[in-house]
Structure 1
Amino acid sequence: MHNEDRLPSDVHGVRTLIANVVMIGEPGDREWTLVDAGIVGCADDIAQAAAARFGDAPPGAIVLTHGHFDHVGSLRPLLARWRVPVYAHAMELPYLTGQADYPEADPDVGGGLMARISPLYPHKGIDISGVVRPLPEDGTVPTLPEWRWVHTPGHTEGHISLFRERDRTVVAGDAFITVKQTSAFAVLTQEEEIHGPPPYFTFDWRHAAESVRKLEALKPAAAITGHGQPMAGEALTEGLAELARSFEERAVPHL
Protein backbone atom coordinates (compact mmCIF):
# COMPACT_ATOMS: atom_id res chain seq x y z
CA MET A 1 0.00 0.00 0.00
CA HIS A 2 1.25 3.48 -0.88
CA ASN A 3 1.58 6.31 1.64
CA GLU A 4 2.07 4.04 4.66
CA ASP A 5 4.37 6.71 6.09
CA ARG A 6 1.23 8.75 6.77
CA LEU A 7 0.17 6.20 9.40
CA PRO A 8 1.60 5.38 12.84
CA SER A 9 4.19 2.59 12.69
CA ASP A 10 1.80 0.08 14.28
CA VAL A 11 -0.99 0.59 11.70
CA HIS A 12 -0.45 -1.31 8.46
CA GLY A 13 -2.79 -1.53 5.50
CA VAL A 14 -3.04 -4.36 2.98
CA ARG A 15 -5.04 -3.88 -0.20
CA THR A 16 -7.16 -6.81 -1.38
CA LEU A 17 -7.87 -5.71 -4.96
CA ILE A 18 -10.71 -3.27 -4.21
CA ALA A 19 -10.79 -3.14 -0.39
CA ASN A 20 -8.31 -2.69 2.44
CA VAL A 21 -7.65 -4.70 5.55
CA VAL A 22 -5.75 -3.22 8.49
CA MET A 23 -3.24 -4.86 10.80
CA ILE A 24 -2.70 -3.12 14.13
CA GLY A 25 0.55 -4.00 15.85
CA GLU A 26 4.22 -3.14 15.56
CA PRO A 27 6.38 -5.38 13.33
CA GLY A 28 7.47 -8.38 15.37
CA ASP A 29 4.68 -8.04 17.92
CA ARG A 30 3.21 -11.28 19.24
CA GLU A 31 -0.13 -9.58 19.90
CA TRP A 32 -1.90 -7.84 17.04
CA THR A 33 -5.40 -7.38 15.62
CA LEU A 34 -6.79 -7.67 12.10
CA VAL A 35 -9.51 -5.25 11.02
CA ASP A 36 -11.74 -6.62 8.23
CA ALA A 37 -11.02 -9.55 5.93
CA GLY A 38 -11.08 -8.21 2.38
CA ILE A 39 -12.57 -9.78 -0.69
CA VAL A 40 -12.90 -13.48 -1.47
CA GLY A 41 -9.75 -15.26 -2.58
CA CYS A 42 -7.30 -13.09 -0.65
CA ALA A 43 -6.79 -15.18 2.49
CA ASP A 44 -3.32 -16.34 1.44
CA ASP A 45 -2.24 -12.81 0.59
CA ILE A 46 -3.49 -11.53 3.97
CA ALA A 47 -1.85 -14.41 5.84
CA GLN A 48 1.44 -13.88 4.01
CA ALA A 49 1.42 -10.18 4.82
CA ALA A 50 0.72 -11.05 8.46
CA ALA A 51 3.55 -13.58 8.56
CA ALA A 52 5.97 -11.05 7.08
CA ARG A 53 5.05 -8.59 9.81
CA PHE A 54 4.31 -10.77 12.85
CA GLY A 55 5.92 -14.14 12.12
CA ASP A 56 3.79 -17.09 13.16
CA ALA A 57 1.72 -15.14 15.71
CA PRO A 58 -1.99 -15.22 14.89
CA PRO A 59 -4.11 -12.14 15.55
CA GLY A 60 -5.77 -11.89 18.93
CA ALA A 61 -9.04 -11.23 17.11
CA ILE A 62 -10.57 -10.01 13.88
CA VAL A 63 -12.63 -6.84 14.23
CA LEU A 64 -15.15 -6.09 11.49
CA THR A 65 -16.15 -2.56 10.57
CA HIS A 66 -19.17 -4.17 8.87
CA GLY A 67 -20.15 -7.31 7.00
CA HIS A 68 -20.31 -6.39 3.32
CA PHE A 69 -18.80 -8.90 0.88
CA ASP A 70 -15.60 -6.91 0.34
CA HIS A 71 -14.89 -6.80 4.07
CA VAL A 72 -15.63 -10.44 4.98
CA GLY A 73 -14.80 -12.22 1.72
CA SER A 74 -11.71 -14.04 3.02
CA LEU A 75 -12.95 -14.39 6.60
CA ARG A 76 -13.80 -18.11 6.56
CA PRO A 77 -10.40 -19.36 5.34
CA LEU A 78 -8.65 -16.99 7.72
CA LEU A 79 -10.69 -18.37 10.61
CA ALA A 80 -9.87 -21.91 9.51
CA ARG A 81 -6.20 -20.95 9.68
CA TRP A 82 -6.22 -18.92 12.89
CA ARG A 83 -9.32 -19.92 14.92
CA VAL A 84 -9.71 -16.57 16.67
CA PRO A 85 -12.79 -14.63 17.81
CA VAL A 86 -14.50 -12.08 15.56
CA TYR A 87 -15.98 -8.86 16.96
CA ALA A 88 -18.63 -6.67 15.36
CA HIS A 89 -21.33 -4.25 16.46
CA ALA A 90 -24.41 -5.95 17.90
CA MET A 91 -26.57 -4.42 15.14
CA GLU A 92 -24.38 -6.09 12.50
CA LEU A 93 -24.74 -9.58 13.97
CA PRO A 94 -27.89 -10.58 12.04
CA TYR A 95 -25.86 -10.26 8.82
CA LEU A 96 -23.05 -12.35 10.30
CA THR A 97 -25.16 -15.13 11.81
CA GLY A 98 -27.30 -16.14 8.83
CA GLN A 99 -30.37 -14.22 9.96
CA ALA A 100 -30.44 -11.38 7.42
CA ASP A 101 -29.15 -10.25 4.03
CA TYR A 102 -28.12 -6.76 3.03
CA PRO A 103 -30.26 -4.89 0.49
CA GLU A 104 -29.20 -5.39 -3.11
CA ALA A 105 -26.89 -2.76 -4.56
CA ASP A 106 -28.37 0.22 -6.38
CA PRO A 107 -26.73 0.71 -9.80
CA ASP A 108 -28.51 4.02 -10.41
CA VAL A 109 -26.46 6.09 -7.97
CA GLY A 110 -24.16 7.28 -10.77
CA GLY A 111 -20.43 7.79 -10.73
CA GLY A 112 -19.07 5.16 -13.11
CA LEU A 113 -18.60 1.51 -13.99
CA MET A 114 -18.19 0.23 -10.42
CA ALA A 115 -21.67 1.53 -9.62
CA ARG A 116 -23.23 0.20 -12.84
CA ILE A 117 -22.00 -3.34 -12.18
CA SER A 118 -22.82 -3.24 -8.47
CA PRO A 119 -25.87 -5.57 -8.81
CA LEU A 120 -23.29 -8.29 -9.44
CA TYR A 121 -21.75 -7.78 -6.00
CA PRO A 122 -22.80 -10.34 -3.36
CA HIS A 123 -25.27 -8.99 -0.82
CA LYS A 124 -26.09 -12.12 1.17
CA GLY A 125 -25.21 -12.32 4.83
CA ILE A 126 -22.84 -14.99 6.15
CA ASP A 127 -23.07 -17.32 9.13
CA ILE A 128 -20.15 -17.36 11.56
CA SER A 129 -22.37 -17.87 14.60
CA GLY A 130 -19.82 -19.90 16.51
CA VAL A 131 -17.10 -17.26 16.56
CA VAL A 132 -18.65 -13.80 16.21
CA ARG A 133 -19.24 -11.75 19.35
CA PRO A 134 -20.72 -8.30 19.95
CA LEU A 135 -18.30 -5.55 20.78
CA PRO A 136 -18.57 -4.34 24.39
CA GLU A 137 -21.17 -1.64 24.84
CA ASP A 138 -18.68 0.65 26.60
CA GLY A 139 -16.75 1.33 23.39
CA THR A 140 -13.68 -0.71 24.26
CA VAL A 141 -12.09 -3.17 21.85
CA PRO A 142 -11.02 -6.37 23.66
CA THR A 143 -7.63 -6.79 21.95
CA LEU A 144 -6.87 -3.08 21.45
CA PRO A 145 -6.69 -1.33 24.83
CA GLU A 146 -5.71 2.07 23.37
CA TRP A 147 -8.53 2.11 20.84
CA ARG A 148 -12.27 2.62 21.06
CA TRP A 149 -14.95 1.79 18.58
CA VAL A 150 -17.31 4.48 17.32
CA HIS A 151 -20.75 3.59 15.96
CA THR A 152 -20.84 5.08 12.45
CA PRO A 153 -24.07 3.78 10.89
CA GLY A 154 -25.49 4.70 7.54
CA HIS A 155 -23.51 2.50 5.19
CA THR A 156 -24.82 -0.38 7.30
CA GLU A 157 -26.79 -0.43 10.56
CA GLY A 158 -23.93 -1.70 12.65
CA HIS A 159 -21.01 -0.04 10.91
CA ILE A 160 -18.16 0.98 13.23
CA SER A 161 -14.92 2.90 12.98
CA LEU A 162 -11.94 2.68 15.34
CA PHE A 163 -10.25 5.69 16.96
CA ARG A 164 -7.11 6.13 19.06
CA GLU A 165 -6.96 9.35 21.02
CA ARG A 166 -3.21 9.66 21.64
CA ASP A 167 -2.36 10.14 17.95
CA ARG A 168 -5.89 10.77 16.66
CA THR A 169 -5.76 7.88 14.20
CA VAL A 170 -8.99 6.59 12.71
CA VAL A 171 -9.69 3.31 10.96
CA ALA A 172 -12.84 4.46 9.21
CA GLY A 173 -14.07 1.39 7.34
CA ASP A 174 -16.54 2.72 4.77
CA ALA A 175 -17.94 5.60 6.85
CA PHE A 176 -15.85 7.73 4.51
CA ILE A 177 -13.31 6.61 1.94
CA THR A 178 -10.37 8.14 0.10
CA VAL A 179 -11.13 7.11 -3.47
CA LYS A 180 -14.12 7.51 -5.78
CA GLN A 181 -15.26 3.90 -5.41
CA THR A 182 -17.95 4.20 -8.08
CA SER A 183 -15.29 4.81 -10.76
CA ALA A 184 -13.27 1.88 -12.11
CA PHE A 185 -10.55 4.29 -13.27
CA ALA A 186 -10.23 5.88 -9.83
CA VAL A 187 -10.15 2.47 -8.15
CA LEU A 188 -7.46 1.30 -10.58
CA THR A 189 -5.28 4.39 -10.17
CA GLN A 190 -6.12 4.96 -6.50
CA GLU A 191 -6.58 8.65 -7.17
CA GLU A 192 -6.72 10.28 -3.74
CA GLU A 193 -9.91 12.13 -2.85
CA ILE A 194 -12.18 12.01 0.21
CA HIS A 195 -15.67 10.70 -0.49
CA GLY A 196 -18.68 9.52 1.46
CA PRO A 197 -19.41 5.81 1.75
CA PRO A 198 -19.78 3.74 -1.44
CA PRO A 199 -23.24 4.89 -2.54
CA TYR A 200 -24.43 1.71 -4.25
CA PHE A 201 -24.46 -0.07 -0.87
CA THR A 202 -25.48 2.88 1.34
CA PHE A 203 -29.17 3.10 2.17
CA ASP A 204 -29.44 5.41 5.18
CA TRP A 205 -28.01 8.72 4.09
CA ARG A 206 -29.14 10.69 7.13
CA HIS A 207 -27.15 8.47 9.45
CA ALA A 208 -24.26 8.32 6.98
CA ALA A 209 -24.02 12.12 7.13
CA GLU A 210 -24.16 12.10 10.93
CA SER A 211 -21.39 9.50 11.02
CA VAL A 212 -19.07 11.58 8.83
CA ARG A 213 -19.68 14.59 11.07
CA LYS A 214 -19.04 12.47 14.15
CA LEU A 215 -15.66 11.36 12.78
CA GLU A 216 -14.76 14.87 11.61
CA ALA A 217 -15.46 16.15 15.14
CA LEU A 218 -12.72 13.82 16.40
CA LYS A 219 -10.23 15.83 14.28
CA PRO A 220 -8.30 12.80 13.09
CA ALA A 221 -4.65 13.36 12.21
CA ALA A 222 -4.33 10.14 10.18
CA ALA A 223 -6.86 7.82 8.59
CA ILE A 224 -7.01 4.54 6.75
CA THR A 225 -10.32 3.67 5.15
CA GLY A 226 -11.91 0.62 3.57
CA HIS A 227 -11.09 1.85 0.07
CA GLY A 228 -8.27 4.10 -1.09
CA GLN A 229 -4.93 5.18 0.33
CA PRO A 230 -4.07 6.41 3.83
CA MET A 231 -4.37 10.16 4.36
CA ALA A 232 -3.03 12.48 7.03
CA GLY A 233 -2.40 16.09 7.92
CA GLU A 234 -3.97 19.03 6.17
CA ALA A 235 -5.30 17.05 3.21
CA LEU A 236 -7.26 14.82 5.58
CA THR A 237 -8.39 17.61 7.89
CA GLU A 238 -9.60 19.92 5.13
CA GLY A 239 -11.07 17.18 2.96
CA LEU A 240 -13.03 15.63 5.80
CA ALA A 241 -14.24 19.02 7.01
CA GLU A 242 -15.48 19.86 3.52
CA LEU A 243 -17.25 16.51 3.23
CA ALA A 244 -18.91 17.06 6.62
CA ARG A 245 -20.01 20.59 5.65
CA SER A 246 -21.48 19.64 2.28
CA PHE A 247 -22.25 15.94 2.64
CA GLU A 248 -25.70 16.16 1.10
CA GLU A 249 -24.33 17.85 -2.04
CA ARG A 250 -21.10 15.86 -2.35
CA ALA A 251 -22.07 12.35 -1.26
CA VAL A 252 -25.81 11.72 -1.53
CA PRO A 253 -26.92 10.56 -4.98
CA HIS A 254 -29.43 12.90 -6.58
CA LEU A 255 -31.68 10.48 -8.40
Structure 2
Amino acid sequence: MEKHMNYGSDYKFIPASSLGNGLSIEVLPDVLCHTVQIVNICLVGNPETQEFVIVDAGMPNSADEIISVAEERFGANIRPKAIILTHGHFDHVGAIIELIEHWDIPVYAHELEIPFLTGKKSYPEPDPTVEGGMVSKLSFMFPNEPINLRKNVEKLPSDGSVPHMPNFRWIHTPGHTPGHVSYFREKDNVLIAGDAFITVKQEYLYNVLTQEQEISGPPRYFTPDWKAAKESVMELAGLKPSVAVTGHGLPMSGELLANSLDTLVREFDHIAIPDYGKYVNKNVH
Protein backbone atom coordinates (compact mmCIF):
# COMPACT_ATOMS: atom_id res chain seq x y z
CA MET A 1 0.00 0.00 0.00
CA GLU A 2 1.19 3.54 -0.84
CA LYS A 3 2.69 4.98 2.33
CA HIS A 4 3.20 8.52 1.11
CA MET A 5 0.98 11.53 1.54
CA ASN A 6 -0.92 12.49 -1.58
CA TYR A 7 -3.27 15.09 -2.97
CA GLY A 8 -6.57 14.10 -4.58
CA SER A 9 -6.33 12.98 -8.21
CA ASP A 10 -8.13 16.18 -9.28
CA TYR A 11 -5.51 18.50 -7.70
CA LYS A 12 -4.12 21.08 -10.07
CA PHE A 13 -2.98 24.65 -10.32
CA ILE A 14 -5.99 26.99 -10.57
CA PRO A 15 -5.23 30.07 -12.69
CA ALA A 16 -7.07 32.58 -10.53
CA SER A 17 -5.66 35.72 -9.01
CA SER A 18 -6.51 39.05 -7.40
CA LEU A 19 -4.87 42.42 -6.95
CA GLY A 20 -4.01 41.22 -3.45
CA ASN A 21 -1.92 38.34 -4.78
CA GLY A 22 1.46 38.31 -3.03
CA LEU A 23 0.46 41.02 -0.57
CA SER A 24 1.45 40.72 3.09
CA ILE A 25 -0.37 42.79 5.70
CA GLU A 26 0.86 42.97 9.29
CA VAL A 27 -2.48 42.98 11.08
CA LEU A 28 -0.80 42.97 14.51
CA PRO A 29 2.87 42.65 15.53
CA ASP A 30 2.36 38.88 15.79
CA VAL A 31 -0.22 38.31 13.03
CA LEU A 32 0.75 38.55 9.37
CA CYS A 33 -1.87 37.94 6.68
CA HIS A 34 -0.47 36.92 3.28
CA THR A 35 -2.54 36.47 0.13
CA VAL A 36 -1.74 33.54 -2.14
CA GLN A 37 -3.63 34.23 -5.40
CA ILE A 38 -7.16 34.45 -3.98
CA VAL A 39 -6.79 32.99 -0.48
CA ASN A 40 -5.19 34.15 2.76
CA ILE A 41 -2.77 32.39 5.06
CA CYS A 42 -1.70 33.72 8.47
CA LEU A 43 1.68 33.62 10.15
CA VAL A 44 0.97 33.85 13.87
CA GLY A 45 3.88 34.52 16.21
CA ASN A 46 6.24 37.31 17.08
CA PRO A 47 9.33 37.57 14.82
CA GLU A 48 11.41 38.50 17.87
CA THR A 49 10.77 35.16 19.56
CA GLN A 50 10.96 33.28 16.24
CA GLU A 51 8.19 30.94 17.38
CA PHE A 52 5.27 30.81 15.00
CA VAL A 53 2.63 28.73 13.27
CA ILE A 54 1.04 28.98 9.85
CA VAL A 55 -2.73 29.00 9.66
CA ASP A 56 -3.88 27.34 6.41
CA ALA A 57 -1.69 26.36 3.50
CA GLY A 58 -2.60 28.27 0.36
CA MET A 59 -3.29 27.23 -3.21
CA PRO A 60 -1.83 24.31 -5.17
CA ASN A 61 1.80 24.99 -6.24
CA SER A 62 2.31 27.80 -3.70
CA ALA A 63 4.77 26.11 -1.30
CA ASP A 64 7.82 28.09 -2.47
CA GLU A 65 5.99 31.37 -1.97
CA ILE A 66 4.81 30.40 1.52
CA ILE A 67 8.30 29.24 2.55
CA SER A 68 9.86 32.49 1.35
CA VAL A 69 7.26 34.61 3.19
CA ALA A 70 8.02 32.66 6.39
CA GLU A 71 11.79 32.97 5.93
CA GLU A 72 11.56 36.68 5.24
CA ARG A 73 9.64 37.25 8.45
CA PHE A 74 11.31 34.79 10.83
CA GLY A 75 14.71 33.95 9.33
CA ALA A 76 16.06 31.39 6.90
CA ASN A 77 16.50 28.43 9.22
CA ILE A 78 13.49 28.98 11.43
CA ARG A 79 10.60 26.63 10.87
CA PRO A 80 7.05 26.97 12.09
CA LYS A 81 5.94 24.78 14.98
CA ALA A 82 2.88 23.53 13.10
CA ILE A 83 0.31 24.19 10.42
CA ILE A 84 -3.07 24.90 11.95
CA LEU A 85 -6.05 24.51 9.61
CA THR A 86 -9.41 26.26 9.54
CA HIS A 87 -10.65 23.55 7.16
CA GLY A 88 -9.42 21.32 4.37
CA HIS A 89 -10.75 22.78 1.10
CA PHE A 90 -8.19 22.72 -1.69
CA ASP A 91 -7.44 26.45 -1.47
CA HIS A 92 -6.57 26.12 2.24
CA VAL A 93 -4.38 22.99 1.95
CA GLY A 94 -2.99 23.55 -1.54
CA ALA A 95 0.69 23.43 -0.60
CA ILE A 96 0.46 21.48 2.63
CA ILE A 97 2.27 18.29 1.63
CA GLU A 98 5.33 20.17 0.35
CA LEU A 99 5.33 22.29 3.53
CA ILE A 100 5.10 19.24 5.81
CA GLU A 101 7.97 17.59 3.92
CA HIS A 102 10.11 20.74 3.87
CA TRP A 103 9.70 21.59 7.54
CA ASP A 104 8.81 18.20 9.08
CA ILE A 105 6.00 19.68 11.17
CA PRO A 106 2.59 18.45 12.36
CA VAL A 107 -0.80 19.65 11.15
CA TYR A 108 -3.82 20.25 13.39
CA ALA A 109 -7.47 20.30 12.39
CA HIS A 110 -10.86 19.69 13.98
CA GLU A 111 -11.63 16.01 14.37
CA LEU A 112 -14.66 16.29 12.02
CA GLU A 113 -12.30 17.55 9.30
CA ILE A 114 -9.80 14.70 9.65
CA PRO A 115 -11.64 12.27 7.29
CA PHE A 116 -11.32 14.88 4.50
CA LEU A 117 -7.59 15.15 5.21
CA THR A 118 -6.82 11.43 5.41
CA GLY A 119 -8.34 10.26 2.14
CA LYS A 120 -11.50 8.83 3.67
CA LYS A 121 -14.11 11.36 2.52
CA SER A 122 -14.61 13.82 -0.32
CA TYR A 123 -16.24 17.18 0.23
CA PRO A 124 -19.53 17.75 -1.58
CA GLU A 125 -18.77 18.86 -5.12
CA PRO A 126 -18.64 22.60 -5.77
CA ASP A 127 -21.91 23.92 -7.17
CA PRO A 128 -21.40 25.88 -10.41
CA THR A 129 -25.19 26.40 -10.65
CA VAL A 130 -25.40 28.43 -7.43
CA GLU A 131 -26.59 32.03 -7.64
CA GLY A 132 -23.51 34.21 -8.01
CA GLY A 133 -20.97 35.41 -10.52
CA MET A 134 -18.20 34.04 -12.65
CA VAL A 135 -16.17 32.36 -9.89
CA SER A 136 -19.20 30.19 -9.04
CA LYS A 137 -19.52 29.20 -12.69
CA LEU A 138 -15.84 28.24 -12.79
CA SER A 139 -16.02 26.29 -9.55
CA PHE A 140 -16.54 22.98 -11.37
CA MET A 141 -12.74 23.15 -11.93
CA PHE A 142 -12.03 23.29 -8.20
CA PRO A 143 -10.57 20.12 -6.67
CA ASN A 144 -12.72 18.41 -4.05
CA GLU A 145 -11.23 14.92 -3.75
CA PRO A 146 -9.64 14.35 -0.37
CA ILE A 147 -5.95 14.67 0.22
CA ASN A 148 -4.26 12.12 2.43
CA LEU A 149 -1.91 13.45 5.07
CA ARG A 150 -1.85 10.06 6.82
CA LYS A 151 -0.42 10.33 10.34
CA ASN A 152 0.80 13.89 9.85
CA VAL A 153 -2.53 15.42 10.87
CA GLU A 154 -3.71 15.47 14.47
CA LYS A 155 -6.95 16.66 16.00
CA LEU A 156 -7.12 19.93 17.87
CA PRO A 157 -7.15 19.47 21.67
CA SER A 158 -10.67 18.97 23.02
CA ASP A 159 -10.16 21.68 25.67
CA GLY A 160 -10.31 24.42 23.01
CA SER A 161 -6.63 25.34 23.21
CA VAL A 162 -4.54 25.65 20.05
CA PRO A 163 -1.07 24.05 19.93
CA HIS A 164 1.70 26.69 19.72
CA MET A 165 -0.86 29.53 19.63
CA PRO A 166 -0.90 30.70 23.24
CA ASN A 167 -4.01 32.67 24.30
CA PHE A 168 -5.93 31.57 21.21
CA ARG A 169 -8.84 29.17 21.40
CA TRP A 170 -10.53 27.34 18.58
CA ILE A 171 -14.25 27.71 17.98
CA HIS A 172 -16.17 25.12 15.97
CA THR A 173 -17.85 27.10 13.16
CA PRO A 174 -19.39 24.49 10.83
CA GLY A 175 -21.55 25.12 7.77
CA HIS A 176 -18.93 25.72 5.12
CA THR A 177 -17.47 22.33 6.12
CA PRO A 178 -18.35 19.98 9.01
CA GLY A 179 -15.12 20.61 10.93
CA HIS A 180 -14.54 24.24 10.06
CA VAL A 181 -12.97 26.19 12.94
CA SER A 182 -12.11 29.80 13.66
CA TYR A 183 -9.43 31.02 16.07
CA PHE A 184 -9.98 33.77 18.64
CA ARG A 185 -7.73 35.54 21.13
CA GLU A 186 -9.65 37.19 23.94
CA LYS A 187 -6.94 39.55 25.16
CA ASP A 188 -7.15 41.68 22.01
CA ASN A 189 -10.24 40.19 20.33
CA VAL A 190 -8.42 39.13 17.19
CA LEU A 191 -10.31 36.62 15.07
CA ILE A 192 -8.96 34.33 12.36
CA ALA A 193 -12.28 33.39 10.82
CA GLY A 194 -11.33 31.10 7.93
CA ASP A 195 -14.29 30.96 5.56
CA ALA A 196 -17.02 31.20 8.24
CA PHE A 197 -17.52 34.68 6.83
CA ILE A 198 -15.33 36.56 4.38
CA THR A 199 -14.73 40.17 3.40
CA VAL A 200 -15.18 39.91 -0.35
CA LYS A 201 -18.02 38.56 -2.48
CA GLN A 202 -15.95 35.55 -3.49
CA GLU A 203 -18.39 34.41 -6.18
CA TYR A 204 -17.94 37.53 -8.31
CA LEU A 205 -14.80 37.77 -10.40
CA TYR A 206 -14.68 41.58 -10.38
CA ASN A 207 -14.83 41.69 -6.59
CA VAL A 208 -12.18 38.99 -6.28
CA LEU A 209 -9.90 40.78 -8.75
CA THR A 210 -10.24 44.14 -7.06
CA GLN A 211 -10.62 42.75 -3.52
CA GLU A 212 -13.47 45.21 -3.00
CA GLN A 213 -14.36 44.97 0.68
CA GLU A 214 -17.84 43.77 1.43
CA ILE A 215 -18.78 41.35 4.16
CA SER A 216 -20.23 38.10 2.93
CA GLY A 217 -21.11 34.66 4.16
CA PRO A 218 -18.92 31.67 3.27
CA PRO A 219 -18.18 31.09 -0.44
CA ARG A 220 -21.49 29.93 -1.91
CA TYR A 221 -20.24 27.35 -4.37
CA PHE A 222 -18.60 25.33 -1.58
CA THR A 223 -21.08 25.69 1.32
CA PRO A 224 -23.54 22.81 1.80
CA ASP A 225 -25.10 23.64 5.20
CA TRP A 226 -26.55 27.15 5.39
CA LYS A 227 -28.34 26.65 8.70
CA ALA A 228 -25.07 25.79 10.48
CA ALA A 229 -23.26 28.57 8.57
CA LYS A 230 -25.73 31.13 9.90
CA GLU A 231 -25.35 29.90 13.50
CA SER A 232 -21.56 30.06 13.16
CA VAL A 233 -21.68 33.69 11.99
CA MET A 234 -23.97 34.57 14.89
CA GLU A 235 -21.52 32.99 17.34
CA LEU A 236 -18.53 34.86 15.89
CA ALA A 237 -20.40 38.18 15.82
CA GLY A 238 -21.20 37.64 19.50
CA LEU A 239 -17.47 37.65 20.29
CA LYS A 240 -17.27 41.30 19.15
CA PRO A 241 -13.94 40.86 17.38
CA SER A 242 -11.81 43.99 16.99
CA VAL A 243 -10.08 42.67 13.88
CA ALA A 244 -10.88 39.74 11.60
CA VAL A 245 -8.63 37.99 9.13
CA THR A 246 -10.78 35.90 6.80
CA GLY A 247 -9.98 33.27 4.19
CA HIS A 248 -10.75 35.61 1.32
CA GLY A 249 -10.64 39.39 1.16
CA LEU A 250 -8.70 41.99 3.12
CA PRO A 251 -8.57 42.04 6.95
CA MET A 252 -11.36 44.12 8.50
CA SER A 253 -11.34 45.93 11.83
CA GLY A 254 -12.95 48.46 14.14
CA GLU A 255 -16.32 50.02 13.42
CA LEU A 256 -16.41 48.71 9.86
CA LEU A 257 -16.07 45.14 11.14
CA ALA A 258 -18.59 45.62 13.97
CA ASN A 259 -21.20 47.20 11.69
CA SER A 260 -20.59 44.72 8.89
CA LEU A 261 -20.98 41.72 11.20
CA ASP A 262 -24.17 43.15 12.69
CA THR A 263 -25.55 43.60 9.18
CA LEU A 264 -24.49 40.10 8.15
CA VAL A 265 -26.26 38.57 11.16
CA ARG A 266 -29.38 40.65 10.64
CA GLU A 267 -29.58 40.07 6.90
CA PHE A 268 -27.84 36.71 6.60
CA ASP A 269 -30.61 35.13 4.53
CA HIS A 270 -30.46 38.00 2.06
CA ILE A 271 -26.69 38.63 1.99
CA ALA A 272 -25.26 35.15 2.35
CA ILE A 273 -27.76 32.52 1.30
CA PRO A 274 -28.07 32.21 -2.48
CA ASP A 275 -31.53 32.36 -4.06
CA TYR A 276 -30.88 29.06 -5.76
CA GLY A 277 -28.32 26.26 -5.81
CA LYS A 278 -28.21 22.57 -5.05
CA TYR A 279 -27.35 23.04 -1.35
CA VAL A 280 -29.95 25.69 -0.67
CA ASN A 281 -32.68 24.42 1.59
CA LYS A 282 -35.56 26.83 1.81
CA ASN A 283 -36.12 25.81 5.45
CA VAL A 284 -33.20 27.98 6.49
CA HIS A 285 -35.07 31.22 5.92
**Given the two structures, how large is their TM-score scaled by the length of structure 1?**
0.97
Paired letter, 1:34: I
Output one character per residue of 1:68-111: Cα deviation in whole Å (capped at 9) or x when no partner: 00000000111110010100000000000110000111112222
Aligned to 1:29: 49
Aligned to 1:116: 137
Mapped contact 1:24–1:32 kept (Cα < 8 A): yes
Q: CA deviation at 1:28?
A: 3.7
Q: Distance in 1 between matches of 2:84 and 2:94?
A: 14
Paired letter, 1:84: I
Q: CA deviation at 1:145?
A: 1.6
Structure 1 range deviating more: 50-59 or 27-36: 27-36
Paired letter, 1:157: P
Aligned to 1:68: 89
Aligned to 2:184: 163
Mapped contact 1:35–1:65 kept (Cα < 8 A): yes
Which runs of 5 or more residues in structure 2 are unaligned? 1-19, 277-285
Aligned to 1:248: 269
Task: Point out the structure with the larger helix share.
Answer: 1
Q: Does 1:223 align with 2:277?
A: no
Aligned to 1:48: 68
**Given the two structures, how large is their TM-score scaled by the length of structure 2?**
0.87
Q: How does 1:118-137 map to 2 (within 5 A)?
A: 118-137=139-158
Mapped contact 1:3–1:230 kept (Cα < 8 A): no
Aligned to 1:58: 79
Q: CA deviation at 1:193?
A: 0.8
| Partner of residue 100 from structure 2, selected from 79, 98, 101 | 79
SS in structure 1 at match of 2:113? helix
Aligned to 2:209: 188
Q: Does 1:12 align with 2:63?
A: no
Mapped contact 1:148–1:163 kept (Cα < 8 A): yes
Structure 1 range deviating more: 105-114 or 88-97: 105-114
Paired letter, 2:242: A
Mapped contact 1:3–1:229 kept (Cα < 8 A): no
Paired letter, 2:99: L
Aligned to 1:153: 174
Q: Distance in 1 between matches of 2:237 and 2:228?
A: 14
Output one character per residue of 1:103-148: Cα deviation in whole Å (capped at 9) or x when no partner: 1111122221100010110011110012100001110001112100
Aligned to 1:211: 232
Mapped contact 2:108–2:154 kept (Cα < 8 A): yes
- Structure 1 runs of 4+ with >3 Å offset: 1-5
Paired letter, 1:121: F
Indicate the percent of aligned positions where both proteins have the same amino acid.
Answer: 50
Mapped contact 2:25–2:34 kept (Cα < 8 A): no
Q: CA deviation at 1:3?
A: 8.7
Which runs of 5 or more residues in structure 1 are unaligned? none
Output one character per residue of 1:162-189: Cα deviation in whole Å (capped at 9) or x when no partner: 0000110000000000011001111111
Mapped contact 2:132–2:274 kept (Cα < 8 A): no
Aligned to 1:237: 258
Q: Distance in 2 between matches of 1:3 and 1:40?
A: 19
Mapped contact 2:24–2:35 kept (Cα < 8 A): no
Mapped contact 1:23–1:35 kept (Cα < 8 A): yes
